[in-house]
Amino acid sequence: MRFIEEVVVDEFLPTFRALLAGDLRDRGLTQSEVAELLGISQSAVSKYAHGDVETNDRLAGDERVQELVARLGEGLASGDVTPVQALVETEVLIRQLERGDVLARLHEETFPALAEYEGDFAVHDADSEVRTAERVLASVRRGVRTLENTSGFAGLIPAVGSNLVETLPDAAGIEDVAGVPGRILDVKGRATVPGDPEFGVSEHVATVLLAARAGGSDARAALNIRYDDEIATRFAEAGLTTAEFDADAAVETAVADAVTDDVDVVFQSGGFGIEPAAYLLGSDAGVVADRIRELL
Protein backbone atom coordinates (compact mmCIF):
# COMPACT_ATOMS: atom_id res chain seq x y z
CA MET A 1 0.00 0.00 0.00
CA ARG A 2 1.45 3.35 -1.05
CA PHE A 3 0.12 6.70 0.13
CA ILE A 4 0.03 9.91 -1.87
CA GLU A 5 2.19 11.56 0.80
CA GLU A 6 4.98 9.21 -0.30
CA VAL A 7 4.63 10.48 -3.86
CA VAL A 8 4.89 14.05 -2.54
CA VAL A 9 8.06 13.20 -0.61
CA ASP A 10 9.68 11.04 -3.29
CA GLU A 11 8.66 12.91 -6.44
CA PHE A 12 7.38 16.43 -5.79
CA LEU A 13 9.76 17.70 -3.10
CA PRO A 14 13.06 16.75 -4.81
CA THR A 15 11.80 18.20 -8.10
CA PHE A 16 10.44 21.40 -6.58
CA ARG A 17 13.49 22.02 -4.38
CA ALA A 18 15.84 21.38 -7.30
CA LEU A 19 13.97 23.88 -9.46
CA LEU A 20 13.75 26.49 -6.71
CA ALA A 21 17.37 26.06 -5.66
CA GLY A 22 18.43 26.45 -9.28
CA ASP A 23 16.27 29.55 -9.69
CA LEU A 24 17.73 31.18 -6.58
CA ARG A 25 21.31 30.36 -7.63
CA ASP A 26 20.58 31.90 -11.04
CA ARG A 27 19.51 35.06 -9.22
CA GLY A 28 22.96 35.33 -7.66
CA LEU A 29 22.35 33.85 -4.19
CA THR A 30 25.13 31.81 -2.63
CA GLN A 31 24.75 28.16 -1.63
CA SER A 32 24.65 29.27 1.99
CA GLU A 33 21.87 31.77 1.35
CA VAL A 34 19.82 29.26 -0.65
CA ALA A 35 20.29 26.65 2.08
CA GLU A 36 19.05 29.07 4.74
CA LEU A 37 15.98 30.11 2.73
CA LEU A 38 14.98 26.55 1.91
CA GLY A 39 15.87 25.09 5.30
CA ILE A 40 18.24 22.49 3.83
CA SER A 41 21.96 21.86 4.00
CA GLN A 42 24.53 23.44 1.67
CA SER A 43 25.51 19.97 0.47
CA ALA A 44 21.89 19.38 -0.52
CA VAL A 45 21.88 22.66 -2.46
CA SER A 46 25.05 21.55 -4.21
CA LYS A 47 23.45 18.23 -5.18
CA TYR A 48 20.40 20.02 -6.52
CA ALA A 49 22.54 22.46 -8.49
CA HIS A 50 24.64 19.70 -10.06
CA GLY A 51 21.70 17.50 -10.96
CA ASP A 52 22.65 14.78 -8.50
CA VAL A 53 19.06 14.49 -7.27
CA GLU A 54 16.57 12.58 -9.39
CA THR A 55 13.61 14.71 -10.43
CA ASN A 56 10.28 14.02 -12.10
CA ASP A 57 10.02 15.41 -15.63
CA ARG A 58 6.22 15.60 -15.54
CA LEU A 59 6.29 17.76 -12.44
CA ALA A 60 9.25 19.81 -13.63
CA GLY A 61 7.45 20.53 -16.89
CA ASP A 62 4.16 21.50 -15.27
CA GLU A 63 3.44 25.18 -15.97
CA ARG A 64 1.96 25.72 -12.50
CA VAL A 65 5.07 24.34 -10.83
CA GLN A 66 7.30 26.47 -13.06
CA GLU A 67 5.21 29.58 -12.39
CA LEU A 68 5.34 29.10 -8.63
CA VAL A 69 9.10 28.45 -8.69
CA ALA A 70 9.68 31.69 -10.61
CA ARG A 71 7.39 33.71 -8.35
CA LEU A 72 8.84 32.32 -5.11
CA GLY A 73 12.39 32.61 -6.43
CA GLU A 74 11.89 36.29 -7.17
CA GLY A 75 10.14 36.94 -3.88
CA LEU A 76 12.62 35.04 -1.69
CA ALA A 77 15.59 36.67 -3.43
CA SER A 78 14.17 40.16 -2.96
CA GLY A 79 12.86 39.56 0.55
CA ASP A 80 9.27 40.28 -0.51
CA VAL A 81 8.31 36.69 0.27
CA THR A 82 9.21 35.02 3.56
CA PRO A 83 10.03 31.30 3.86
CA VAL A 84 6.74 30.85 5.71
CA GLN A 85 4.79 32.46 2.88
CA ALA A 86 6.66 30.30 0.39
CA LEU A 87 5.77 27.20 2.38
CA VAL A 88 2.09 28.12 2.49
CA GLU A 89 1.91 28.75 -1.26
CA THR A 90 3.72 25.49 -1.98
CA GLU A 91 1.32 23.58 0.29
CA VAL A 92 -1.62 25.09 -1.60
CA LEU A 93 -0.18 23.90 -4.91
CA ILE A 94 0.47 20.40 -3.51
CA ARG A 95 -3.14 20.10 -2.34
CA GLN A 96 -4.32 21.24 -5.78
CA LEU A 97 -2.15 18.70 -7.59
CA GLU A 98 -3.39 15.94 -5.28
CA ARG A 99 -7.04 16.41 -6.22
CA GLY A 100 -7.48 14.53 -9.48
CA ASP A 101 -4.37 16.17 -10.92
CA VAL A 102 -0.80 15.19 -11.71
CA LEU A 103 0.10 13.98 -8.18
CA ALA A 104 -3.10 11.94 -8.07
CA ARG A 105 -2.23 10.34 -11.41
CA LEU A 106 1.32 9.56 -10.28
CA HIS A 107 -0.11 7.94 -7.16
CA GLU A 108 -2.57 5.82 -9.16
CA GLU A 109 0.26 4.65 -11.43
CA THR A 110 2.38 3.54 -8.48
CA PHE A 111 -0.52 1.77 -6.72
CA PRO A 112 -1.91 -0.79 -9.23
CA ALA A 113 -4.73 -1.82 -6.86
CA LEU A 114 -6.53 1.38 -7.84
CA ALA A 115 -6.78 0.11 -11.40
CA GLU A 116 -9.71 -2.15 -10.47
CA TYR A 117 -11.91 0.93 -10.18
CA GLU A 118 -13.12 1.72 -13.66
CA GLY A 119 -14.29 5.04 -14.95
CA ASP A 120 -13.29 8.63 -14.39
CA PHE A 121 -12.62 9.26 -10.72
CA ALA A 122 -10.32 11.14 -8.36
CA VAL A 123 -9.32 8.90 -5.49
CA HIS A 124 -7.88 11.88 -3.63
CA ASP A 125 -11.12 13.82 -3.69
CA ALA A 126 -13.01 13.30 -0.41
CA ASP A 127 -16.22 12.94 -2.44
CA SER A 128 -14.79 10.67 -5.13
CA GLU A 129 -16.55 7.48 -6.18
CA VAL A 130 -13.71 5.34 -4.90
CA ARG A 131 -13.66 6.84 -1.42
CA THR A 132 -17.44 6.82 -1.22
CA ALA A 133 -17.60 3.16 -2.24
CA GLU A 134 -14.87 2.18 0.20
CA ARG A 135 -16.63 4.02 3.03
CA VAL A 136 -19.84 2.11 2.30
CA LEU A 137 -18.01 -1.24 2.24
CA ALA A 138 -16.25 -0.36 5.50
CA SER A 139 -19.58 0.60 7.06
CA VAL A 140 -21.12 -2.76 6.12
CA ARG A 141 -18.08 -4.60 7.48
CA ARG A 142 -18.41 -2.79 10.82
CA GLY A 143 -22.12 -3.54 10.95
CA VAL A 144 -21.55 -7.21 10.19
CA ARG A 145 -18.94 -7.46 12.97
CA THR A 146 -21.47 -5.96 15.38
CA LEU A 147 -24.06 -8.56 14.36
CA GLU A 148 -21.58 -11.40 14.69
CA ASN A 149 -20.80 -10.27 18.23
CA THR A 150 -24.42 -9.71 19.25
CA SER A 151 -25.69 -12.55 21.39
CA GLY A 152 -29.03 -13.82 20.15
CA PHE A 153 -28.82 -12.34 16.66
CA ALA A 154 -28.67 -15.80 15.06
CA GLY A 155 -32.14 -16.45 16.43
CA LEU A 156 -33.50 -13.55 14.38
CA ILE A 157 -32.16 -14.85 11.07
CA PRO A 158 -35.02 -16.14 8.86
CA ALA A 159 -34.86 -19.46 7.02
CA VAL A 160 -33.77 -17.71 3.81
CA GLY A 161 -30.93 -15.93 5.62
CA SER A 162 -30.29 -12.28 6.46
CA ASN A 163 -28.39 -9.60 4.67
CA LEU A 164 -27.07 -6.25 5.86
CA VAL A 165 -26.90 -3.77 3.00
CA GLU A 166 -26.00 -0.12 2.46
CA THR A 167 -26.38 2.08 -0.61
CA LEU A 168 -24.18 4.64 -2.26
CA PRO A 169 -25.62 8.15 -1.73
CA ASP A 170 -27.13 8.32 -5.21
CA ALA A 171 -27.90 4.63 -5.71
CA ALA A 172 -29.83 3.89 -8.88
CA GLY A 173 -29.96 0.08 -8.71
CA ILE A 174 -28.81 -2.99 -6.82
CA GLU A 175 -25.34 -2.65 -8.29
CA ASP A 176 -25.01 0.47 -6.10
CA VAL A 177 -25.89 -1.45 -2.93
CA ALA A 178 -23.22 -3.28 -0.91
CA GLY A 179 -24.13 -6.41 1.00
CA VAL A 180 -22.93 -9.81 2.14
CA PRO A 181 -22.49 -12.31 -0.71
CA GLY A 182 -24.59 -15.41 -0.10
CA ARG A 183 -26.33 -13.89 2.95
CA ILE A 184 -25.80 -14.31 6.70
CA LEU A 185 -26.94 -17.72 7.92
CA ASP A 186 -27.73 -19.32 11.27
CA VAL A 187 -25.32 -22.25 11.57
CA LYS A 188 -25.81 -24.13 14.84
CA GLY A 189 -26.84 -21.00 16.66
CA ARG A 190 -24.09 -18.76 15.28
CA ALA A 191 -24.40 -16.05 12.67
CA THR A 192 -22.14 -17.15 9.83
CA VAL A 193 -20.90 -14.65 7.26
CA PRO A 194 -19.67 -16.24 4.00
CA GLY A 195 -17.52 -13.39 2.73
CA ASP A 196 -16.57 -9.72 2.70
CA PRO A 197 -19.16 -7.19 1.52
CA GLU A 198 -19.42 -6.50 -2.19
CA PHE A 199 -21.58 -4.34 -4.42
CA GLY A 200 -24.42 -5.91 -6.37
CA VAL A 201 -24.61 -9.18 -4.43
CA SER A 202 -27.94 -8.58 -2.68
CA GLU A 203 -31.08 -8.62 -4.74
CA HIS A 204 -34.02 -8.94 -2.35
CA VAL A 205 -32.94 -6.80 0.62
CA ALA A 206 -31.36 -4.26 -1.72
CA THR A 207 -34.64 -4.06 -3.65
CA VAL A 208 -36.58 -3.43 -0.44
CA LEU A 209 -34.17 -0.69 0.62
CA LEU A 210 -34.26 1.03 -2.77
CA ALA A 211 -38.06 0.83 -2.76
CA ALA A 212 -38.17 2.39 0.71
CA ARG A 213 -35.96 5.23 -0.53
CA ALA A 214 -38.23 5.67 -3.55
CA GLY A 215 -41.16 5.94 -1.14
CA GLY A 216 -39.60 8.81 0.78
CA SER A 217 -37.27 7.20 3.32
CA ASP A 218 -33.78 8.68 3.62
CA ALA A 219 -32.41 5.37 4.96
CA ARG A 220 -29.26 4.10 3.33
CA ALA A 221 -29.04 0.73 5.08
CA ALA A 222 -31.32 -2.20 5.83
CA LEU A 223 -31.31 -5.64 7.43
CA ASN A 224 -33.94 -8.37 7.13
CA ILE A 225 -34.90 -10.52 10.12
CA ARG A 226 -37.72 -12.94 10.87
CA TYR A 227 -41.05 -11.45 11.93
CA ASP A 228 -43.63 -12.59 14.48
CA ASP A 229 -45.76 -11.16 17.29
CA GLU A 230 -42.87 -11.20 19.76
CA ILE A 231 -40.65 -9.19 17.46
CA ALA A 232 -43.50 -6.79 16.72
CA THR A 233 -43.76 -6.18 20.47
CA ARG A 234 -40.03 -5.50 20.70
CA PHE A 235 -40.33 -2.93 17.90
CA ALA A 236 -43.12 -1.16 19.81
CA GLU A 237 -41.19 -1.22 23.10
CA ALA A 238 -38.15 0.26 21.35
CA GLY A 239 -40.30 3.08 19.96
CA LEU A 240 -39.69 2.11 16.33
CA THR A 241 -42.20 3.23 13.72
CA THR A 242 -43.38 0.34 11.54
CA ALA A 243 -45.28 0.01 8.28
CA GLU A 244 -46.70 -3.13 6.71
CA PHE A 245 -46.56 -3.91 3.00
CA ASP A 246 -48.38 -6.52 0.98
CA ALA A 247 -46.28 -9.67 0.59
CA ASP A 248 -48.28 -10.76 -2.46
CA ALA A 249 -47.69 -7.53 -4.40
CA ALA A 250 -44.59 -6.43 -6.30
CA VAL A 251 -41.97 -5.48 -3.70
CA GLU A 252 -40.95 -2.23 -5.37
CA THR A 253 -44.49 -0.89 -5.44
CA ALA A 254 -45.71 -2.35 -2.14
CA VAL A 255 -42.80 -1.04 -0.07
CA ALA A 256 -42.73 2.38 -1.72
CA ASP A 257 -46.47 2.79 -1.06
CA ALA A 258 -46.14 1.73 2.60
CA VAL A 259 -43.13 3.84 3.57
CA THR A 260 -43.07 7.40 4.89
CA ASP A 261 -40.02 9.41 5.84
CA ASP A 262 -40.27 8.48 9.55
CA VAL A 263 -40.60 4.69 9.17
CA ASP A 264 -37.92 2.63 10.94
CA VAL A 265 -39.19 -0.83 9.99
CA VAL A 266 -41.15 -2.21 7.05
CA PHE A 267 -42.59 -5.70 7.40
CA GLN A 268 -44.84 -8.23 5.76
CA SER A 269 -46.71 -10.82 7.83
CA GLY A 270 -46.36 -13.55 5.23
CA GLY A 271 -48.45 -15.14 2.55
CA PHE A 272 -48.79 -18.35 0.58
CA GLY A 273 -45.25 -19.75 0.47
CA ILE A 274 -43.85 -16.47 1.79
CA GLU A 275 -42.03 -16.32 5.12
CA PRO A 276 -42.93 -13.33 7.35
CA ALA A 277 -40.08 -10.81 7.43
CA ALA A 278 -39.15 -7.42 8.82
CA TYR A 279 -36.65 -4.97 7.37
CA LEU A 280 -34.93 -2.56 9.74
CA LEU A 281 -33.93 0.73 8.11
CA GLY A 282 -31.22 3.16 9.17
CA SER A 283 -28.81 5.85 8.08
CA ASP A 284 -25.95 3.36 7.79
CA ALA A 285 -25.16 -0.28 8.45
CA GLY A 286 -23.77 0.44 11.90
CA VAL A 287 -26.99 2.15 13.01
CA VAL A 288 -29.06 -0.83 11.83
CA ALA A 289 -26.78 -3.31 13.60
CA ASP A 290 -26.98 -1.26 16.81
CA ARG A 291 -30.79 -1.37 16.62
CA ILE A 292 -30.63 -5.16 16.55
CA ARG A 293 -28.42 -5.12 19.63
CA GLU A 294 -30.94 -2.87 21.40
CA LEU A 295 -33.81 -5.22 20.53
CA LEU A 296 -32.13 -8.22 22.13
Tell me which residue of 203, 191, 267 sits closest to 235, measured CA to CA: 267
pLDDT in tens, 47-106: 887 888 899 999 999 999 999 999 999 999 998 888 888 898 899 899 889 887 899 889
Please report the pLDDT score of residue 270 as a whole number: 85
Q: What is the Cα–Cα distance from 168 to 174, expressed in whole angstroms? A: 10
Four-point Cα dihedral 260, 167, 180, 158, nearest 10: 0
Residue ranges of E strands in 147-270: 164-167, 177-179, 185-187, 190-192, 198-199, 221-226, 242-244, 265-268
| pLDDT value of residue 267 | 96
Confidence at residue 271, expressed as pLDDT on a 0 to 100 scale:
77
- The C-alpha atoms of residue 285 and residue 142 are separated, in whole angstroms, by 8
pLDDT of residue 123: 54
For the chain, 296 residues long, give each residue's pLDDT as a single digit of tens.
788 889 999 999 999 999 999 999 999 999 999 999 999 899 999 888 788 889 999 999 999 999 999 999 999 999 888 888 889 889 989 988 988 789 988 988 888 776 565 444 455 555 567 778 888 998 999 999 999 999 999 999 999 999 999 999 999 999 999 999 999 999 999 999 999 999 999 999 999 999 999 999 999 999 999 999 999 999 999 999 999 999 888 999 999 999 988 999 999 998 778 899 999 999 999 999 999 999 99
C-alpha distances in angstroms, 205 versus 16, 23, 202, 208, 281?
Answer: 52, 62, 6, 5, 11
- For 67: left if phi > 0, alpha if psi spans -120 to 50, otherwise beta; the answer is alpha
pLDDT at 50: 81
